[in-house]
């Protein structure tokens, strides 16, 4: 069975600081990888996704993530965070074959302070 | 398009009561999902459906039932509410095709409190 680990439960950053949120997954086969964001009081929205090809994926709002197959990782990055990035971030994975639903990590809460 | 809609937004139930959480989507998505979100635990899949008339259990199906009589609707039923079912419930849907590779679109959620 697949599993997803997000190492940081809560991250606090000042505006303009750089962000990196860790995500590791366990699965032996080919996977699809996602980062979703949940702004306060809102529902989940897709930030970016990786299916195949270039392992560096660019998403909305200046976010990017890099798939490193050898490390089973898909870390999320942003060079300069803004107050409006305050949200909860979820990494998710599913197997790239058959009928397998998404498995989500526990989430990382990001608080950006002025 | 309204996207994925859920009703009610918030509900308080007494132990042993039953209720149905409604979910509808107007994007002609084949795949629909129900998740629960507990603090610090991420999202857990309850049930999902790959099309009308077809449903499958997810990671945490106990205490819940679903049906999918139409493409648009995917209601979640709680028969005997328990305090452990206090949670926020999200419905999601995704495009047809290689559906599980596709982006899932989420509804706004239903906050359920069982006392």
- Residues whose CB is less than 8 angstroms from the CB of residue A12 and which lie 6 or more positions away in sequence, other chains included: A110, A111, A112, A113
Q: Is B85 helix (H, G, I), strand (E, B) or coil?
A: helix
Contact B101 A101 (CB under 8 A): no
- Taking only the tens place, the pLDDT of each residue in B12-46 is 999 999 999 999 999 888 889 999 999 878 899 99
Instruction: Report the alpha-carbon distance of residue B74 to residue B6 in Å, rounded.
Output: 10
Q: Are B109 and B5 in contact (CB under 8 A)?
A: no
Average the pLDDT over A93-103 and give the result: 75
Instruction: Report the alpha-carbon distance of residue A8 to residue B62 in Å, rounded.
Output: 30
Cite the DSSP H helix spans in A1-114. Answer: none
CA distance to partner chain A, nearest, from residue B40 (Å): 6
- From chain A, pick out residues whose CB is under 8 angstroms from the CB of B56: 99
| Residue B2 pLDDT | 79
Nearest chain A residue to B57 by CA distance is A101
Residues in chain B whose Cβ is within 8 Å of chain A: 33, 35, 40-45, 48, 50, 56, 58-59, 90, 92, 100-101, 103-104, 106-109
| Residue A66 pLDDT | 96
- Taking only the tens place, the pLDDT of each residue in B43-73 is 999 999 988 999 999 989 999 999 999 999 9
Instruction: Report the alpha-carbon distance of residue A49 to residue B94 in Å, rounded.
Output: 14
Residue pairs between chains A and B whose CB atoms are closer than 8 Å = 53
Tokens of B104: 């899932």
| Residue A39 pLDDT | 93
Q: Are A44 and A34 in contact (CB under 8 A)?
A: no
- Taking only the tens place, the pLDDT of each residue in B12-21 is 999 999 999 9
Cα–Cα distances (Å) from B93 to A4, B43, B86, B105, in that order, read 21, 15, 23, 5
């Amino acid at each position: 069975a697949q599993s997803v680990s997000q190492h940081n439960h809560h991250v606090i950053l000042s505006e303009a600081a750089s962000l990196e949120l860790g995500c590791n997954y366990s699965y032996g086969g080919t996977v699809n990888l996602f980062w979703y964001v949940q702004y306060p009081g809102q529902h989940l929205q897709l930030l970016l996704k990786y299916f195949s090809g270039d392992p560096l994926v660019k998403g909305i709002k200046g976010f990017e993530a890099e798939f490193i197959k050898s490390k089973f990782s898909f870390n999320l990055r942003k060079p300069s965070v803004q107050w409006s990035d305050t949200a909860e971030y979820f990494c998710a994975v599913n197997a790239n074959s058959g009928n397998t639903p998404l498995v989500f990590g526990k989430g990382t809460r990001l608080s950006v302070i002025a | 398009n309204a996207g994925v809609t859920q009703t009610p937004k918030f509900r308080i139930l007494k132990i042993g009561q039953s209720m149905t959480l409604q979910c509808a989507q107007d994007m002609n998505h084949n795949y629909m999902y129900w998740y629960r979100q507990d603090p610090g635990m991420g999202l857990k899949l309850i049930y999902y459906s790959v099309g009308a008339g077809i449903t499958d259990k997810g990671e945490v199906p106990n205490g819940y039932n679903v049906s999918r009589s139409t493409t648009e609707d995917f209601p979640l039923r709680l028969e005997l509410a328990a305090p452990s079912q206090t949670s926020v419930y999200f419905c999601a849907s995704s495009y047809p095709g290689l559906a599980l590779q596709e982006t899932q679109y989420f509804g706004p959620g239903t906050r359920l409190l069982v006392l």
